[in-house]
Chains A and B, each alone.
Chain A
Amino acid sequence: MALATKDVVGILSDNLRMRGSVLPISARRATRWASDLHLPRGGRTVLYTGMMYQLIPYVEQLNRLQARVAGSRLSRYVGAARVANRAVRGFGMTLVARPSADQRAELDRVPANVARLLRAAGVDFGYLYEDDFYSGALAYDLGSDEVVAGHARRVAAIFAKHGVQEVITIDPHTTTMLRSVFPKFVDSYDVQVRSYLEVLADRPEHGRTADRPAQGEVVVHDSCVYARYEDVIEAPRQLLATAGVTVREPEQSRKLTWCCGGPAESLYPEKAAAVATQRVEQLRAVAPDCVTMCPICLVNLRKSANGRLSVRDISEYLVAPLPS
């Protein structure tokens, strides 16, 4: 294997077990998006970010670093990094260049957009702040089930503590973990989990503005996980149409969507990059503007497009018609 896969998996698993996140970012950093929104703490229904949009800029930087480390003399030290990482909080992060302020601000805006949309649709919800943990998706994908099982029970206990019965998610990976994976690991897990896209699509009578200026044409890129794991396909299209966007379909869409290049945290970035390039070409052939609904798709496609295709999160289009 090109990298010490087992050690990389180990570092991520250790972090999840000890710190509740595959990469240790501070609770202040992870909850900053909500600082001006005055969301109530906890409640029957909560907006659960799983820290995905907040983490992705950091994961992408880790990924760039990893691409440089793989195959270099540095790769032999990955095992030692795991030992250090166990002892020193954030050791892994000291290796990682910080993402740009612009990129962090853009990704932080997504959960804030979602909160605005839910409010406009009349949904009553709270937020768990520092108890809003990462879902464990990456550790699960890599096969660290024992670690994920412990994490799932920890998150379920937090839901119980706050009396949470309904969870509204923002990204596909958190959605599938909380909806389809956690029930395998937690006895009597009884939480309804829906993506905000599904919640909003179920309330078409709310959140509409009388005067919807047209937002032009965009090509839609379905997330593999939303489309093939969770069957979230029509809701985003319906919402975009309601927001005045003309949706165009690429060569492969819906259930047959083409992967964006996969997890930004892929252990084999070179292979994933080739897949991303192919997808960018399919999307560019249809429209110059692309809409994504997953933070991993967003950063992967944008990086691969390198300016040849504009890529924006779906929430940016959906909030546009709301009164500011």
Chain B
Amino acid sequence: MSTVVSSALAEQLHELGDFDAEACMNCGVCSATCPLGIDLLPRRLFRYAVLGMGRRVHQQGEAIFACLLCRSCEENCPAGVHITENVRLLRRWLLTNPEEGH
């Protein structure tokens, strides 16, 4: 896979607020405990953001806005990531950075 890693997206998210998805160690507890059962949220989503894959983040708009912000994942997260705040900041980013052609 020829993914170009870029910190540009993460930097934009840091400017929007206290984005701390880099602390995620990808263990999967969040996805396992999500009441919505969204496999994507939040760990893969955070990986897209940290790797600078803005287009992938846009493609996941429905999952990002479907999250109930119930914090069940956060309560169980062994790395103490502020998952719901990260999801909220991704919403802010989506609303302020519309994808071209949409």
Partner of B72, one of A9, A258, A263, A267: A258
Are the C-beta atoms of B68 and A1 separated by less than 8 Å? Answer: no
Bound together, the chains give a CA A5 to CA B63 distance in angstroms of: 12
Task: Give, as a whole number of angstroms, the nearest-CB distance from B24 to chain A.
Answer: 19
Total number of A-B contacts with CB less than 8 angstroms? 70
Q: Name the interface residues of A240-288: CB closer than 8 Å to any CB of B.
A: 255-256, 258-259, 261-263, 266-268, 271-272, 274-275, 278
**Residues in B neighbouring A255, C-beta threshold 8 A:** 75
Are the C-beta atoms of B70 and A228 separated by less than 8 Å? Answer: yes
Are the C-beta atoms of B62 and A259 separated by less than 8 Å? Answer: no
Interface size of A by CB at 8 A reads: 29
Q: Name the interface residues of B66-102: CB closer than 8 Å to any CB of A.
A: 66, 68-72, 74-75, 88-95, 98
A6 contacts the other chain (CB 8 A): yes
Bound together, the chains give a CA A258 to CA B95 distance in angstroms of: 28
Q: With A228-B70, A267-B66 given, is the CB distance from A141 to B88 under 8 Å?
A: yes
Are the C-beta atoms of B62 and A268 separated by less than 8 Å? Answer: yes
**Residues in B neighbouring A229, C-beta threshold 8 A:** 71
Task: Give, as a whole number of angstroms, the nearest-CB distance from A92 to chain B.
Answer: 19
Task: Give, as a whole number of angstroms, the nearest-CB distance from B71 to chain A.
Answer: 4
Which B residue sits closest to A8, measured CB to CB?
B65
Q: With A1-B61, A271-B36, A278-B35 given, is the CB distance from A143 to B89 under 8 Å?
A: yes
Contact surface of A with B, Cβ cutoff 8 Å: 1-2, 5-6, 9, 140-145, 224, 228-229, 255-256, 258-259, 261-263, 266-268, 271-272, 274-275, 278
